[in-house]
Chain A
Amino acid sequence: MKNKKLILIFAVLLTLTLSLLWPFESEIDVKIVEIQTPPLGAQIPEKLTMVLQNNESKPVDVWVDIENAFVDENKISYPTSRIIISENSTHPWDVDFVSFQKPITLQPGNNSIKARLGYSLPGKYELKIKVTEDSRLIDSASHTLEILPPKLSLKLEAEKFDWPELDLGNEVELYGIYGYILNYSPSRAKDLRTNLSVRDEKTGKTVFTASEVYYVEAYDKTPLWIWPDYPYALIEISRSGTSDKTYMPVQNVIRGKPGDVFRVNVSSEWENQKVFAEILVPIAEERNVKNEKEARNL
C-alpha cells in the first residue's frame, strides 16, 4: 500500500514538473532594446522605430502588437496595420512592408522595425508593444508620447492695391489686406474658425464682419485669401463712399470716403486657443503722406 502511494506521489510530481516546464522549454530569447519616435503632431502620420534583438542563433518568427498606435478624435484606439522591417542591422536598407497579420521573421542580432502611428488630437499617449511567439509573451515595453497642440499666430499686411483690368481711374483707391495663419508646431490645425471685423475709427462702429473656416498644416502658414493673388479683404476709398463696384473673387469689401480710417481685426480660434491680429488702414505712413499733401494744397 505504501509503495503504491509512493509511486502515485512520484507520478504526480513528474507530471507537475512537466506541466510547469513545458511552456518555458521552447521560449526564444528576443528583447525590445530600443524605441524611438520623432516629434509627433496631431493628424500627421509618423513612424515609430524599435529595435528587436534576436539572441538566438537562428531566425525566429514572432508577432508584434502595438496598442494605441492610432487614436481617433473620439479617443478610440486602433492597432497599427503595417510595419516596415529591415532584414538585419547590417543591411538596414533591405526593407520590406510586412503585414501585422503575419508573424515577423527576426534575423539573429538587431532587427530594426518601423511602425506607423497617428493621433487625431494632442495629448499624452502610452504605447504598449508586445512581442509574442505562439501566444506566449516574449517581451513587452511601454513608451509615452506627447502630441503637442498647434501653436498658432496671425499676421496681417495692407498695401495699396492696383487692379488695372477694372479701370478704376483716379476716383477710387483700393487697399488690399493680406492675412496669414501661421503654425509653429508639428500638429496640423483643422477647422479654424476665423472672424474678420472692421471698425470705423471715427465713429467706433463695426462696419463689416465675415467668417470663414481655414486649416493650417504643421510648421506652415495658410494665406487667408479665397483666390491666390487676390487680397483677403479690400478697402475701397471713393468720394461717394458707396460705390457699387464688385471686386470678385474678393468678397470682403469695405467701402469708405477719403479720410476714413478702418481698424481691421482678424481672430482665429482652434479648440481653446485664440489668436488675433489688428491693422489700421490706410496705414499710418500713407495717412501722413496724404495729410502732408493736403496741407500743401491748402
Chain B
Amino acid sequence: MKQKKFFTFENAILLLLLFFLIGFATGCLRQDPMEARVDSLVEELGNEDTNISSAALNALIDIGEPAVPSLILALTAKEAPVRERSALILGRIEDKRAVEALSKTLSDPDPKVRGAAVNALCNIETNETTKLLIPLLQDEDEEVVLLVVSALGKLKGEGAASALLEIMDHDNQEVRKNIIYSLKQIGDPVASEALLELFSDKELGEIAASAFSNYNFMDPQTSEILMELLKSKDPTVRANAVRALGNKEDETVITLFIKLLEDPDSEVRKEVIYQLGVFGIQKSPGVEKALPPLIKTLNDRDKEVQIAAVTALGRIGDDAAVLPLIPLLENKDRKLREAAINALGQIGDPQAGAALRDRLKAEELWSARRAMIRALVNIGDPEAVETLITLLEDRHYRVRQSAAMELGKLRAEEAVEALLKALETERESEVRSAEVYALRNIGDPRAFETLRKISRDQDEYYCVRLAARESLKELEAASPSESTALV
C-alpha cells in the first residue's frame, strides 16, 4: 500500500492559507483597547502596592461608564480589597446599572466592602436606597452602622427618622452623635420629642439643641415646650433650650432671654448673651431692648460672660455701647481688651477714635494693635492715615502688614513716600507684598520707578517681584503716559 505523503505542495499551500486566515480573524476579533485597559486596571485593584492600586482606582474613575460592567463583575472577586475598591469606584461613577449588584454586596462578609457598598448606593441614590440601607442599622460592625446613619441623613428618605430613633440608645457615643446630625438633616418632626429628651445630656444635649436650626422642628407646640424648658432646674437643659430657641427670631424669645441674663449659672448667661448677639447681627426686632441689661453684664463676675457681652454689644452695633466699652481698652485681660477693640470697630462710632489711638501707643499685644488698625479704619477716624503711617515702622510684621494693606484700601496718597521708604528697609516678604499692593491701589506715579526696580530685582522675594509686576501692569494700563515718561 502506497503511503500517503503529508508534506505535499497542496497541503503546504492549504496550511499557509489557514495561517493567514487565522491571523486575519485574530485581527478582526482582537479585544477593544478600552476593554483591555479596564480589565488590566481592575486586576491591579488588588495590587499590594497601594500606589499601584490607587492609580488603578483613579484611572477607572476617569474611564467612568465603560468600566461599569467589569466593575460589577469585580464585586464578586475573591479578594476583599478588589470588591471594596470596585464598590467605591461604582459609587463615584454613579451609574444606576450597578445598584442591583451593590445591593447584593450589602451582605458581603467583609465590613469594609459592606461600608463601600453603603457609600456607593448613597451616591447613586434611587427611590429604593433608604429601604435597602435601613436593615444595616443592625450591622454587627459599628463603622458600617456609622456609614448607614450618615447615608440616611443625606438621603432624607421616608422612614429613615423612625429607623434612626429605634437605635438612639446605641452603645457607641459616636453613632448616637451621628444619629442626631442625621435627624437634623432629615428634619422629620417625629424626632422632636427624642431630641428634647437629650437636652439634659452634657455631651449630646448641645448637638440635639443645634438640630432645632432645622425649622421643621420648630412648630408652635415645640416652641412652647422649649420656653418651658428655660425654667428647668437643670442648667444644662436651660442652656440647651436657649440654644434651640436662638433659631426662633421672636420678640417674646428676646424678652425671655433678657430675663435669663440674671441666671445663676454662667454657662446659661453666656449662651443667652451669645444668642442676643446673633439677634443683633440679624437686626431682629426688639433686640435694642437688650442693650441696657447687656451693658450691665459688662461687670459680670465671670470673665467669659464679660467677653461674650462685649462681643454681643459689637454685634448689635448701637452707639450707646461705645462709652461703656472704652474703659475696657485698658483692661488687664488681653481677651477682653481685644474683644472691646473689635466691638468698637464693629459699632463704627467716631467717638472711639481718640481712645483707640491713645491706647495704641501703650498696647503691647501685636494682635490688639492690629485689631485697632481695623477698628480705626472701620469707624472712619479722620487721623487714621497718619496713625497707619507710623505703624509701618511697628515692631511686629503683622501690624506693619495690616497698616500697609489698610493704607492701600484707603487709597491714601499721603502715604506714598512712607510706603516707598518702608520698602527700602522692610525684610519680611508678606509686608513687602502688602506695601507693593498698597502702592498699586493708591496708583500714584511716584511709585512707578520703585515698582519697576523691584519687578526686575533678582535678589527680591519671588512673590514681591510678582506683586510688583502685576501692579505695574495695572498702573501702566491705567495711565500709559506717566509710565512711559519714567522708562
Interface residues of A (CB under 8 A from B): 4-5, 8-9, 11-12, 15-16, 18-19, 22-23, 63, 81, 99-103, 132, 134-135, 155, 164-165, 178, 180, 182, 184, 217-221, 223, 228-229
Of residues 419 to 475 in B, which have CB atoms within 8 Å of A's CB atoms? 427-430, 458-463, 465
Q: A8-B13, A99-B63 are in contact. Are A19 and B459 (CB under 8 A)?
A: no
Query: Which of B9, B20, B33, B465 sits near A5, CB closer than 8 Å?
Result: B9
Within the complex, what minimum Cβ distance (angstroms) separates B406 from chain A? 19
Note all chain B residues with C-beta closer than 8 A to A132: 33
Contact A217 B462 (CB under 8 A): yes
- Is the beta-carbon distance between A220 and B428 smaller than 8 angstroms? no
| Chain A proximity of B394: nearest CB distance (Å) | 10
| B21 within 8 Å of A (CB atoms) | yes
Q: Contacting A101 at CB < 8 Å: which of B23, B62, B396?
A: B62
A284: shortest Cβ distance to chain B, in Å? 20
Could you say which residues of chain A place their CB within 8 Å of the CB of B41?
101
Q: Does B48 contact A (CB under 8 A)?
A: no
25 contacting pairs across A/B (C-beta < 8 A): A8-B13, A8-B14, A8-B17, A9-B13, A11-B17, A15-B20, A15-B21, A18-B24, A19-B24, A22-B24, A81-B55, A81-B58, A100-B62, A101-B59, A101-B60, A134-B33, A165-B364, A178-B427, A180-B459, A184-B458, A218-B462, A219-B458, A220-B462, A223-B429, A229-B395
Report Cα–Cα, A10/B237, bound state, in Å: 99
Among A63, A102, A218, which residue has its beta carbon within 8 angstroms of that of B63?
A102
Q: Is the CB of B20 within 8 A of A19?
A: yes
In order of increasing CB-CB distance, the 8 nearest A-B pairs are A99-B62, A220-B462, A101-B62, A8-B13, A15-B20, A101-B59, A229-B397, A101-B63
Q: What residues of A have a CB within 8 angstroms of the CB of B463 in the complex?
A: 220
Q: List the A residue with the shortest CB-CB distance to B55.
A: A81
Instruction: Kindly state the separation between the CA atoms of A180 and B32 in the bound complex, as whole angstroms.
Output: 58
Given contacts A221-B459, A228-B397, A229-B396, contact A12 B17 (CB under 8 A): yes
Are A182 and B37 touching (Cβ within 8 A)? no
The 8 Å CB contact of A19, one of B23, B37, B397, B461, is B23
The complex places the Cα of A135 from the Cα of B428 at a distance, in Å, of 56
**Contact call A219/B462, Cβ cutoff below 8 A:** yes
Chain B residue at smallest Cβ distance from A183: B462
Query: What residues of B have a CB within 8 angstroms of the CB of A103 in the complex?
Result: 34
CA distance A180 to B20 in the complex (A): 72
Please give the distance in Å from A1's CB to the nearest CB on chain B: 10
A221 to B429 alpha-carbon distance, docked (Å): 10
Which of A134, A164, A180 contacts B395, CB < 8 Å?
A: A164
- A99-B59, A99-B62, A101-B59 are known contacts. Are A228 and B428 too (CB-CB below 8 A)? yes
A63 touches B33 (CB 8 A): yes
Contact with A along B15-38 (1 / 0, CB 8 A): 011001101100100101110010
A155, B429: Cα distance in complex, Å: 16
Within 8 Å CB of B16, what residues of A?
12
Most buried by B among A8, A132, A180: A8
In the complex, A22 Cα to B26 Cα: how many Å? 12
Q: Contacts of B140 on A, CB cut-off 8 Å? A: none
